[in-house]
Chain A
């Protein structure tokens, strides 16, 4: 019967230049080949390269940022005047639900994933993430999940229960449109994406660090990303369960939150916030990581108290699990629970305060270089301090019963999320743009970008503190003329200020987009090491080659790259730090010991196929289970294709054939 050739001898991989490439079994099971395109759209769609995936994450997140931003502007327009009629009540409810959902799940989290994907392997000196194909799968699931979620706008209306989706208001009885079904299933898909990605990154950090890089030598960004991945790993299952319960209640007649059948709707609140509060740290910690890279670079001194910053990050990660009920101080939990969670919440302010002190002390005694990235990073310190302190005011539970669900809270968490997370991401854009694209973003436009956003954030969210304390609740499509008041703190004036501020932020973002285009068209290539940077990702070309490093670097210290450039030299004035090597020289030294064999994974068709099946299953759950069968078949096809595809592209698939080439890329199974 069937006969297949099997190589009788597998030549061992031999190090050193000039060695022959591995001979591999020809495409073991026939038709399935791996894509090989290195250019054109195929090189992106089928890529498993963490850098390309990182860029795609970034582009898609930026798109959703604009979508969510437009939703925010519509909300602010509606609230600019009393009894306004820009949006109807139903549409307004959909708008704020989707604004929050989009910004949290489709912008901040995936944008952090973009940075993590691109820079985490570079920072730990790896050639890729641990499971490259899973990485691609994460991205495509996120993209398709995001698109699926937003198609609800065109299919009878988006979710209208608020991003917290409290039961029983989220049941079919009270929200009969399909919006919440789309929301639930969309978040499930995006949740799987995040879960897969978190496992991938954890394994990468724990197993694939360059030789010599101990955990306590890892850059802070990598550390914070690691903490975030653990948070994701434990938080996502909780929301997954909650979403399943809600899904079963809406689509299959279960009664998990049905009061008439003896359920307690507070169950949802607990499940949601056990996920939802760690989610806050999932959002903010990557930004903390970014500015912990930016500040030392432009202060020319190491992060003050590296260990304290790392441990406080980890401490936030732990204590973050014990404070969820502070979202429920008005829910009627009883005084004992309220007191305990109130104190726990204050506790978490301590590690957060430690971070702020450490950043400030990093600036202290430095040699500060105010690039746009640095300004954004300092902006984070300023705005996050304000946001954190207003957070302390509602850790005080009795005060929170006045503040919760008012604009005071909206002001607080936007200072934290926009001022803390988003400004941090912008610091990352300006800092790492030359690394990713080989060109420096325009600094003049960057300053405009920063100041517009900085004042915009303060003008938009500062007044919200006042509005909230003046008794304007959240999530209200209109606020009435008769409750406006007349004095300095009247609602009308401050609502208008907030609306103008929001357009100022929008203008800032527009300047950023213009900056991107301007840079892409006009800017000259950036120098190799434009910021005199400190960490490993700068110890390679910009943009990095597909294999990241010609030779895997050996790490001796935190801020390895800096210590290769600078050495302490004794002078007549005592010991001074002197630049002994340029970045080019450091790089040349590395190139000299380049690895002869570089194993890189081949691209794959199957992640995108597998991911594509999931939204189809989800549409099937909403409209017709037969469609789910089709989706499941696609998923099955994806799984089999994944397993059956050869572990490496066949030589003959390359054009010209790549056989025998020294840099031939072979793959570990990803």
Chain B
């Protein structure tokens, strides 16, 4: 019948202590208590005191309960007076939390408005689709002094200039998704038919991971993303590389055969900008004919990214990834701009960091790696269009050719 008050207190203390400590940890890449940009920092500066207040209030209440349990346990005392309360005390206990909450409400409301600024020089369209994100840089934007004169379409890795506010215009092609880079800002839903804005800014170069956070169907867990912040100079190089003219692989190489295979097998959905067929006509992808949501990742510069398929499978090895993620802000950009060729000797013929396994498995049988709706017998509702990439039945030789070709998409 005896309750140990200390055990209760200890539980309460551990939980509260947990909250406090969580604020100091810097160990998970998506730690919301570790802001890396002004928007997230603004949220953090409000969130932290609220946690502390909640912790203190919690300790007081639980302390009172623990004390009452210890003090008033049945030791044979009289039946207490049958009093029905004390209105004055109760009114006080109503007003007190009201005052605390008012204290929280005022900065909350002001911050709701301050986080909602909508003007910017650098605007990026962010479009969600089952199960990956597409970014296109709005023509006419000026991002960190770099003018975007040609549209750039990229996937999963959102490259932004550091120390520069960027405005994301978020929408969706199919179901509701939610764009979230915890260390840079809170999340914002991507709702089809609506266009929501979210500001983003990173203090320093680096990679900031994120995840789609609105349940979006079968492969919701495998819809990830990252924001990569680069110095203005590095960003300029990145933009230049993204908008560079297409170069065909050298004739006679596997990659050159790969180009033909790519046109035959992949290009009906996947765009590679500048690609022309044998007759010299531009090869334009038509994902709207095959994919229900109407788009497929643009592969023009695939090898400049570090992961693919909704940022789920790495294009670089684990060691390289760890090394890249832990680069200092000063050296990060140089490594990142090498894409899968990072940390390779200058004269290397093969990229040291390239993780071939994932890409090959994916080309062999994508739905086995990431659940998607590609079973032709179950596509009646979407008129035969898939949701995700189907298994194409490629031979090993074809896969070799395509990988060789894709390796040059850097």
> B-contacting residues of A (Cβ < 8 Å)?
88-90, 93, 160-162, 166, 168-169, 172-176, 259, 263-266, 299-308, 330-332, 334-335, 338-339, 342-343, 346-347, 349-350, 353-354, 356-358, 360-361, 363-371, 375, 378, 381-382, 385-386, 389-390, 392-393, 395-406, 455, 458, 462-463, 465-466, 469-480, 482-491, 558-559, 562, 566, 576-577
Q: How many residue pairs at the A-B interface have CB separations less than 8 Å?
A: 347
- B209 interface hit (Cβ, 8 Å): yes
B residues 182-232 with Cβ under 8 Å of A?
182, 185-189, 191-194, 196, 209, 211-222, 224
Please state if B30 and A483 are interface contacts (CB–CB under 8 Å): yes
Whether A175 touches B217, Cβ cut-off 8 Å, given contacts A386-B58, A488-B25, is yes
Closest 7 A-B residue pairs measured CB to CB?
A: A471-B30, A401-B186, A487-B27, A485-B28, A476-B221, A305-B85, A332-B196
Q: Give the most central of B61, B112, B178, B387: most A CB within 10 Å.
A: B112
Please state if B381 and A176 are interface contacts (CB–CB under 8 Å): yes
Separation of A469 and B109 alpha carbons in the complex (Å): 22
B residues 264-283 with Cβ under 8 Å of A?
none
Beyond A346-B101, A353-B97, A399-B50, 10 additional pairs, beta carbon < 8 A? A93-B220, A175-B217, A301-B83, A305-B86, A375-B3, A397-B108, A398-B115, A402-B47, A471-B28, A480-B312
Whether A305 touches B321, Cβ cut-off 8 Å, given contacts A175-B217, A339-B113, A471-B211, is no
Chain B residues with CB below 8 A from A402, complex form = 32, 40, 43, 47, 182, 186-187
Separation of A484 and B97 alpha carbons in the complex (Å): 37
- B77 interface hit (Cβ, 8 Å): yes
Separation of A561 and B380 alpha carbons in the complex (Å): 66
Please state if B77 and A367 are interface contacts (CB–CB under 8 Å): yes
- B26 interface hit (Cβ, 8 Å): yes
- B394 interface hit (Cβ, 8 Å): no
Chain A residues with CB below 8 A from B113, complex form = 335, 339
Separation of A222 and B174 alpha carbons in the complex (Å): 47
Please state if B189 and A369 are interface contacts (CB–CB under 8 Å): no
Interface residue from A88, A332, A343, A476 paired with B371 (Cβ < 8 Å)? A88
Please state if B68 and A363 are interface contacts (CB–CB under 8 Å): yes
- B12 interface hit (Cβ, 8 Å): yes
Please state if A405 and B178 are interface contacts (CB–CB under 8 Å): yes
Please state if A471 and B182 are interface contacts (CB–CB under 8 Å): yes
Chain B residues with CB below 8 A from A173, complex form = 292, 381-382
Total interface residues in chain B, CB < 8 Å? 110
Interface residue from A264, A303, A368, A577 paired with B72 (Cβ < 8 Å)? A368
Please state if A469 and B32 are interface contacts (CB–CB under 8 Å): yes
Residue of B nearest to A489 (CB): B25
Chain B residues with CB below 8 A from A389, complex form = 54-55, 57-58
Please state if B98 and A162 are interface contacts (CB–CB under 8 Å): no
Please state if B108 and A398 are interface contacts (CB–CB under 8 Å): yes
Closest Cβ of chain A to B384, distance in Å, is: 13
Please state if A259 and B192 are interface contacts (CB–CB under 8 Å): yes
Q: List 8 A-B contacts (CB under 8 A).
A: A339-B109, A354-B93, A367-B72, A389-B54, A403-B32, A458-B15, A486-B27, A559-B82
Closest Cβ of chain B to A172, distance in Å, is: 5
Write the B277-294 contact mask toward A (1 if CB under 8 angstroms, else 0). Answer: 000000000000000100
- B345 interface hit (Cβ, 8 Å): no
Closest Cβ of chain A to B101, distance in Å, is: 4
Please state if B78 and A577 are interface contacts (CB–CB under 8 Å): yes
Whether A577 touches B321, Cβ cut-off 8 Å, given contacts A363-B65, A386-B58, A485-B27, is no
Please state if A365 and B80 are interface contacts (CB–CB under 8 Å): yes
Residue of A nearest to B194 (CB): A332
Chain B residues with CB below 8 A from A354, complex form = 90, 93-94, 97
Please state if A89 and B219 are interface contacts (CB–CB under 8 Å): yes
Chain B residues with CB below 8 A from A398, complex form = 42-43, 46-47, 108, 111-112, 115, 186
Chain B residues with CB below 8 A from A356, complex form = 61
Separation of A332 and B220 alpha carbons in the complex (Å): 20
Closest Cβ of chain B to A663, distance in Å, is: 37
Residue of B nearest to A359 (CB): B65
Please state if A331 and B191 are interface contacts (CB–CB under 8 Å): yes
Please state if B214 and A458 are interface contacts (CB–CB under 8 Å): no
Chain B residues with CB below 8 A from A478, complex form = 221-222
Separation of A402 and B42 alpha carbons in the complex (Å): 12
Please state if B174 and A168 are interface contacts (CB–CB under 8 Å): yes
Please state if B81 and A392 are interface contacts (CB–CB under 8 Å): no
Separation of A455 and B174 alpha carbons in the complex (Å): 43
Residue of A nearest to B48 (CB): A399
Separation of A259 and B173 alpha carbons in the complex (Å): 10
Whether A302 touches B82, Cβ cut-off 8 Å, given contacts A90-B371, A335-B112, A479-B221, is yes
Closest Cβ of chain A to B311, distance in Å, is: 10
Chain A residues with CB below 8 A from B54, complex form = 389-390, 392-393
Chain A residues with CB below 8 A from B215, complex form = 93, 161-162, 166, 169, 405, 474-475
Chain B residues with CB below 8 A from A404, complex form = 187, 213
Interface residue from A339, A466, A491 paired with B22 (Cβ < 8 Å)? A466
Please state if B47 and A347 are interface contacts (CB–CB under 8 Å): no
- B343 interface hit (Cβ, 8 Å): no
Closest Cβ of chain A to B375, distance in Å, is: 11
- B6 interface hit (Cβ, 8 Å): no
Chain A residues with CB below 8 A from B182, complex form = 402, 471
Please state if A396 and B85 are interface contacts (CB–CB under 8 Å): no
Residue of A nearest to B2 (CB): A370
Chain A residues with CB below 8 A from B139, complex form = none
Please state if A368 and B69 are interface contacts (CB–CB under 8 Å): yes
Interface residue from A364, A470, A474 paired with B31 (Cβ < 8 Å)? A470
Chain A residues with CB below 8 A from B252, complex form = none
Chain A residues with CB below 8 A from B350, complex form = none
Please state if A470 and B213 are interface contacts (CB–CB under 8 Å): no
Closest Cβ of chain A to B137, distance in Å, is: 22
Whether A89 touches B221, Cβ cut-off 8 Å, given contacts A397-B108, A488-B27, is yes
Q: Give the most central of B97, B189, B213: most A CB within 10 Å.
A: B189
Closest Cβ of chain B to A469, distance in Å, is: 5
Separation of A258 and B32 alpha carbons in the complex (Å): 34
Separation of A401 and B11 alpha carbons in the complex (Å): 28
Chain A residues with CB below 8 A from B57, complex form = 389
Separation of A371 and B94 alpha carbons in the complex (Å): 30
- B8 interface hit (Cβ, 8 Å): yes
- B246 interface hit (Cβ, 8 Å): no
Separation of A403 and B48 alpha carbons in the complex (Å): 13
Closest Cβ of chain A to B79, distance in Å, is: 4
Please state if B213 and A465 are interface contacts (CB–CB under 8 Å): no
Q: Give the most central of B40, B87, B191: most A CB within 10 Å.
A: B191
Separation of A386 and B115 alpha carbons in the complex (Å): 29
Please state if A386 and B12 are interface contacts (CB–CB under 8 Å): yes
- B235 interface hit (Cβ, 8 Å): no
Please state if B14 and A393 are interface contacts (CB–CB under 8 Å): no
Separation of A364 and B69 alpha carbons in the complex (Å): 8
Closest Cβ of chain B to A488, distance in Å, is: 6
Whether A305 touches B371, Cβ cut-off 8 Å, given contacts A393-B50, A488-B27, is no
Please state if B104 and A396 are interface contacts (CB–CB under 8 Å): yes
Residue of B nearest to A562 (CB): B82
Residue of A nearest to B318 (CB): A482
Separation of A403 and B30 alpha carbons in the complex (Å): 12
Chain B residues with CB below 8 A from A491, complex form = 28
- B116 interface hit (Cβ, 8 Å): yes
B residues 35-69 with Cβ under 8 Å of A?
40, 42-43, 46-47, 50-51, 54-55, 57-58, 61-62, 64-65, 68-69
Separation of A404 and B32 alpha carbons in the complex (Å): 12
Separation of A177 and B16 alpha carbons in the complex (Å): 44
Chain A residues with CB below 8 A from B209, complex form = 471, 483
Whether A308 touches B85, Cβ cut-off 8 Å, given contacts A365-B80, A491-B28, is yes
Please state if B74 and A367 are interface contacts (CB–CB under 8 Å): yes
Please state if B43 and A401 are interface contacts (CB–CB under 8 Å): yes
Please state if A299 and B12 are interface contacts (CB–CB under 8 Å): no
Chain A residues with CB below 8 A from B130, complex form = 174
Q: Give the most central of A369, A397, A469, A487: most B CB within 10 Å.
A: A469
Whether A393 touches B51, Cβ cut-off 8 Å, given contacts A265-B193, A266-B191, A398-B112, is yes
